[in-house]
Amino acid sequence: MLSIAVIGSKGYVGSALYKELLDSSKYSVVGVTKENYLATQAQKFDIIINCAMPSGRFWANNHPEEDFTETVKKTADLLYGWQFKKFVQISTVSARCQTDTIYGRHKAAAEKLCDFGNNLIVRLGALYGDNMKKGVLVDMLEGKKVFVDKRSRYSFIPLSFCVSWLASNLDRQGIVELGGKNAITLESVAKHIGVEVEFEGAVNHQDIENTEDDLPEAKDVLGFMDNLKK
């Protein structure tokens, strides 16, 4: 049975992936948080999955040094300070699509550290699912200003699909992008749910590359948003 450490197992992605791996009964899984980080570091694992990188795009741009520490340095700490056979980095399509921002550049820099051997880097598109507390979809529903151009295309994808895919594809290596097929514009989402949204910012297309065969459609997010509004 493979031993796996999920770093950031209380976060939005990490908690869902941790539960998915536990439910599969195929792995010996340890959830790693700030509280047990040092105690767990002494153990040896077959796979380490890093779900702990911060997801705040605007926070990163306003706090560049802190974001570098949380994103790049802490990835390096895992790579060089822990014992494992394979490293899985949970990243974002921003590492390719937003290299003009501090957030995207730091994600790309962290990926560079991991991109060797049999390691796996998974870039996630815009996520949605249960317990979603922040992000562009939440901002729309709450009537907040969205700081990106309304014409921007996003490859929305359910978190549940992503963690299921990860649990079944830990043997993969290289860089994989997971996002909904046929990205849709933010304007189309706002119109569908019938809310007035103020958009401000540059166009930021997040279409995915190297599409997997079984990915859901990005437009499926519209049904999810309908249910949230009920």
Asked if 159 and 11 touch (Cβ cutoff 8 Å), the reply is no
Neighbours of 86 (CB within 10 A): 18
- Helix spans in 27-83 (H): 37-41, 57-62, 64-68, 74-81
Per-position DSSP letters for 21-43, written without gaps between them:
HHHHTSEEEEEE-TTTHHHHHTS
- Positions in the chain whose pLDDT score sits under 50: none
The total number of residues written for the chain in this structure: 230
Query: Helices H, strands E: what count in the chain?
Result: 11, 10
Contacts by residues 27-32 (CB-CB < 8 Å, ≥ 24 positions apart): 27/1, 27/2, 27/3, 28/1, 28/2, 28/3, 28/4, 29/3, 29/4, 29/5, 30/3, 30/4, 30/5, 30/6, 31/6, 32/5, 32/6, 32/7, 32/8
Q: 2-229: what fold? A: Rossmann fold (3.40.50)
3-state secondary structure of 104: helix
pTM: 0.94
CA distance 173 to 192: 38
For 120, list phi and psi in degrees, rounded to 5.
-125, 130
Question: Do the beta carbons of residue 204 and residue 98 sit within 8 Å?
Answer: yes
Strands (E), 27-156: 27-32, 44-50, 83-92, 120-124, 127-128, 153-154
pLDDT value, residue 38? 96
- Give the residues across from 12 on adjacent strands: none
Nearest to 182 by CA among 150, 222, 131, 123: 222
Encoded amino acid at 103, one letter: Y
Tokens of 21: 């791996």
Condensed to tens digits (0 to 9), the pLDDT of residues 157-170 reads 999 999 999 999 99
User: What are the sequence ranges of the domains in the chain?
Assistant: 2-229
